[in-house]
Structure 1
Amino acid sequence: MNLHTSRPRLSIVVVNRRRERFVAHAIESALAQTLRHDTPEALEILIVDAGSRDGSLAAIRRHAPQLPLIALDDDSEAAAMNAGFAAARGELIVFLESEDWLHPEAAAEVLAAWRPGVSKVQFRLDLVDADDRPLGRLLPRDLHGGAQALALLREFGAYGSPPCSGNAFHRDYLARVLPLDEAPWHDGADTVPILLAPACGEVRSIPVALGACRSGGEDELLAVGRHGSLADACRRIDQGKQALSSALERLGIAHRRPAGLAPWEARTLVLGLRFGGAPAGLPRRRTVVRVLRSVLRWPGLAPARRLLMLGWMVAVLLLPDTPARRIARLHRRESGTVADPGREPDSSPAAQHRLARLLRRL
C-alpha cells in the first residue's frame, strides 16, 4: 500500500464513555508508548468522548490538552467508533477503551507484527480489577489466527480474540465495515470489526499481554457490569450472529446456519437461560442442545476442561438458585488463561476441584 509520508503508521483512538475515574490512565498509557518517543511521526493519538455527563471531559482536558478531542452528544459506542475512524489517519487503528490501558511497547510490537494482507493484529490483555490489581489471568484463553480463525468463524461465528482494546485493525479493512449502523450498535459496536476480520484478510496474533483490561468482578454477568447487563450480553451474541451471517453472505463465504457457539458465548447463554436475560422467544430446549453441542464440537479443548464446562453448565441450569449462583461465579474466576507461563492453562486442576467440592456440599 502506498502511503503519504504525512500519514502515521498507527492511530490510538481512546474511546471514552462515562469513565471519569479511568480515562486519564488510558490516555497516559497511549502517551507513554515507546514508539512515540523513538519515532514520533509514526504514532497518532486522539480521543473520542461519547456523550459523557460525568467529569470525563474535564479530566481529559486536564490530562491531555494537547491531544485532539472529539466530543459527541451521542453516547452510542458505534457513533464513537465511526467518529474515531473518520478522524484517524493511521495505517493501523487501535480503539482503546478508556477503562483499559496499553503497555509501553504495545504500538511498536503491533507494527513489527503487521505485514501486507493482514486485516487485524491481536494481542492478549492482562485482567485487572477496578483498582489496577492483577488477577493473574490473560484474555483471551485462545488466540486464533490465519486459516484456523476463518474456519472457526464459518462454523461457530466466533474465534479466539481479545476485547476491543487488544485489536489493531488495518484501515483498508475498517473501510469495508465502517461506518456502523448506530441504531442497533449502541453497545458492543466492536463486535462487527472483530468478528469479520478473518473473512477480509489474515489475523495475526501476538501471544503476550500488551495491555490491561478491567474486570467487572465475579457478578459481571449476573448483574450490571462493565458492558451492561446479562440481557445485554445475550442480546449481543444473537445480534452478532445475525450480522455476521448477513456479512458472510454478502462476501460469498459459505458458513454454518445457524452458527455454533464459542465456549464463552455458550456460558453466557446458559447464565441468561437460568437467571433471566436470554432474548425473548429464545427456545430453551433448542438453545440448551445448541450450547452443549457447541462445547462438544469446539476444537482444542482438553478433555478435562470440556468435562468441567459441561458439568458447570448442567449445574447452573439444574441446581436450586443459591448453589447455582455460587457455581455461576466460577465463570468469571476462570476467564482467560493463567498469566504464569509455567502453568498449563487447560489442565486447570484447581478449577475442577473447586467445582467438585461445591457439588459435594450441595
Structure 2
Amino acid sequence: MTLRPTISVIITNYNYEEYVGHAIESVLSQTRLPDEIIVIDDGSTDSSRDIIRSYGERVQSVFQSNQGIRSVTNSGYASSTGQIVMYLDADDTFYPMAVERVEKALRSGVVKVQFDLDVVDERGRRLGRRMPDFSRRAITEVELAREFNETGTYRWPVTSGNAYSRDFLKQVMPVSPPVSLDGVLNTIAPLYGRIVTISDPQGQYRVHQRNNSRKNSSGKVAFIPDFASRIRYRKQEFDILREHADRLGHQLPTGDLLDNELVFVNYRIMARKLSREDESDRNRSLFDLWAKGIIAIGRGHFRPSVALKHATWICSITLLPAWLVRRLIEIRFSRTQWWSNVRSRLGGAFRS
C-alpha cells in the first residue's frame, strides 16, 4: 500500500484582517485536509492576530515581529514538515479541491505543481480574468521542459498558485530573493525536476489597493508600477537561476532571458515611454523590444482572443505618443479598482 504524502499549507499574513479569515476557512474546507496549516503573521498591527487565534488548534500560529515578505516565507518553510508545501497569501483563497488535485499531480520526479487562479476584486467578485491563464490548453511536462530549455523561462502563477515538493525545497532553501520567495523558486524549479500544470483554476487571486505587486521600491502603493525596479529584480532572479544552472551543469540559452517574458518586454516598453527605464536598457531600440514582444505572444500558448489583446496592447504602447501611453497605463493598472467602483455604484442604484 502506498502511503499518501503529508501536506503543509503555509498562510502568510500582514495586516490583512479583512481577508485572513477567508484564507483560513478556504483551507479548512478542503476535500483533502492538509496535515498541517501554518499561519505566519508578520507583525500585524490590526486585528489579524485575534482572528488567527480564534481558530485555536485547527491551525499552527506563528507570530513574529515585522520582517517583510522575504523573511516570512522562509520562516514558514522552516516551521513546516510536509512532503508537499503550498503557500497561500492571506488575501487569496483556495477552491475546495485544490489540495486534493495537487496531491494527485505531485508524484516522483515532479518538483512543482502549478495552477490557474481566478482574479477577483477586494470583495471577492470575479473579474473575468485568470492568473496567469492556462485556459487555452494544458501544457504538458515535456512541453514546459522544452520551453524552459529554449528560453530559460516559462509561464508561472503568483505565490498562491504553486505547490512544491519538499525534496526540491530541501536543496534550495533558505533563499534570499530580491523581492519574494515565489519569484526565485519558480524561476529555478525546472532545473531540479518536472513541473505539472493544472489548467483550470484552483483558487482566487485578489487584486486590491494593498497588493504587494502594487507597491514601489519604497513600499508605497502606486497605480503606475516602478517598472525599472521590477526589471532590476527580475534580472537578479535570473542571476540566481544562472548560479543554480552552473552548480548543476545545466546549459541555459544565451542572450537576455527577459526578452522571452512578455510581461517584462511590456515593462521595458512602458518604462521607455514614461522615461523611467533601467539604465542598462537604454541601448535597446523600441522596434527590437516590440519584435521580442510579438515573438513572446506567439510562443505563449494563449487563446486567440487573449493573444489578440496582447498584440493590440503592445502595438499601441509602441506606436502611440508618450502622453497617450501614460494615460493607457494609468487605466490598465487601475482598471480593477475602477470597475469595482462602477459595480458598487450600479448595485447601489438598483437597491435604491
TM-score range, shorter chain: 0.7 to 0.9
Q: Which residue of 2 aligns with 1:283?
A: 282
Q: Which residue of 1 aligns with 2:53?
A: 61
Alpha-carbon distance in structure 1 between the residues aligned to 2:82 and 2:276:
39
Q: Which residue of 2 aligns with 1:177?
A: 172
Contact 2:9 2:85 in 1 (8 A): yes
Matched, 1:45 2:64: no
Q: Of residues 142, 152, 158 in structure 2, which corresponds to 1:157?
A: 152
Q: Of residues 126, 134, 137 in structure 1, which corresponds to 2:118?
A: 126
Matched, 1:85 2:84: no
Distance 1:303-1:66 versus aligned 2 partners, 3 A rule: closer
| SS in structure 2 at match of 1:190 | helix
Distance 1:229-1:26 versus aligned 2 partners, 3 A rule: farther
Matched, 1:27 2:24: yes
Distance 1:325-1:283 versus aligned 2 partners, 3 A rule: closer
Distance 1:225-1:141 versus aligned 2 partners, 3 A rule: farther
Alpha-carbon distance in structure 2 between the residues aligned to 1:233 and 1:53:
28
Contact 1:154 1:255 in 2 (8 A): yes
Contact 1:50 1:76 in 2 (8 A): yes
Contact 1:145 1:202 in 2 (8 A): no
Kindly tell me the number of residue pairs found equivalent between the two proteins.
322
Identity of aligned residues (%): 27
Q: Which residue of 2 aligns with 1:148?
A: 143
Distance 1:200-1:136 versus aligned 2 partners, 3 A rule: same
Q: Which residue of 1 aligns with 2:264?
A: 265
Task: Measure how far apart 1:208 and its partner are.
Answer: 1.0
Alpha-carbon distance in structure 1 between the residues aligned to 2:14 and 2:118:
21
Task: Measure how far apart 1:249 and its partner are.
Answer: 1.9
Task: Deviation per CA, 1:133-161: give whole Å up to 9, x if none.
Answer: 00112221236452322332233332121
| SS in structure 1 at match of 2:111 | strand
Task: Deviation per CA, 1:243-296: give whole Å up to 9, x if none.
Answer: 212222222111123223221222233223333553344325257624532532
Q: Which residue of 2 aligns with 1:117?
A: 109
Alpha-carbon distance in structure 1 between the residues aligned to 2:86 and 2:275:
34
Partner amino acid, structure 1, of 2:94: L
Alpha-carbon distance in structure 2 between the residues aligned to 1:201 and 1:63:
36
Contact 1:216 1:225 in 2 (8 A): no
Contact 1:188 1:236 in 2 (8 A): no
Distance 1:291-1:316 versus aligned 2 partners, 3 A rule: closer
Partner amino acid, structure 2, of 1:96: L
Partner amino acid, structure 2, of 1:268: Y
Contact 1:232 1:277 in 2 (8 A): no
Alpha-carbon distance in structure 1 between the residues aligned to 2:17 and 2:275:
31
Task: Measure how far apart 1:92 and its partner are.
Answer: 0.5
Task: Deviation per CA, 1:312-359: give whole Å up to 9, x if none.
Answer: 234324433442134336756999xxxxxxxxxxxxxxxxxxxxxxxx
Task: Deviation per CA, 1:156-214: give whole Å up to 9, x if none.
Answer: 33212111101110001011221012xx53x3221111122222111111111110001
Give the gaps of 5 or more residues in structure 1. Answer: 37-41, 336-362
Alpha-carbon distance in structure 1 between the residues aligned to 2:6 and 2:330:
42
Alpha-carbon distance in structure 1 between the residues aligned to 2:174 and 2:204:
27
Contact 1:15 1:49 in 2 (8 A): yes
TM-score by length of 1: 0.77
Partner amino acid, structure 1, of 2:329: A
Q: Which residue of 2 aligns with 1:346?
A: none
Matched, 1:13 2:15: no
Alpha-carbon distance in structure 2 between the residues aligned to 1:19 and 1:226:
20
Alpha-carbon distance in structure 2 between the residues aligned to 1:43 and 1:128:
28
Alpha-carbon distance in structure 1 between the residues aligned to 2:109 and 2:75:
25
Alpha-carbon distance in structure 1 between the residues aligned to 2:225 and 2:335:
20
Q: Which residue of 2 aligns with 1:324?
A: 325
Alpha-carbon distance in structure 2 between the residues aligned to 1:263 and 1:294:
6
Partner amino acid, structure 1, of 2:288: V
Q: Of residues 230, 234, 241 in structure 1, which corresponds to 2:231?
A: 234
Alpha-carbon distance in structure 1 between the residues aligned to 2:167 and 2:226:
33
Equivalent residue runs for 1:185-334 within 5 Å? 185=178, 187-216=179-208, 224=221, 229-257=226-254, 258-259=256-257, 260-275=259-274, 277-285=276-284, 289-290=288-289, 292-296=291-295, 298-299=298-299, 300=301, 309-328=310-329
Distance 1:139-1:226 versus aligned 2 partners, 3 A rule: farther
Contact 1:11 1:90 in 2 (8 A): yes
| SS in structure 2 at match of 1:33 | coil
When structure 1 is superposed on structure 2, of 59-68 and 197-206 the one drifting more is: 59-68
Alpha-carbon distance in structure 2 between the residues aligned to 1:157 and 1:275:
28
| SS in structure 1 at match of 2:201 | strand
When structure 1 is superposed on structure 2, of 307-316 and 189-198 the one drifting more is: 307-316
Alpha-carbon distance in structure 2 between the residues aligned to 1:125 and 1:225:
23
Alpha-carbon distance in structure 1 between the residues aligned to 2:251 and 2:132:
26
Task: Measure how far apart 1:85 and its partner are.
Answer: 1.0
Contact 2:86 2:163 in 1 (8 A): yes
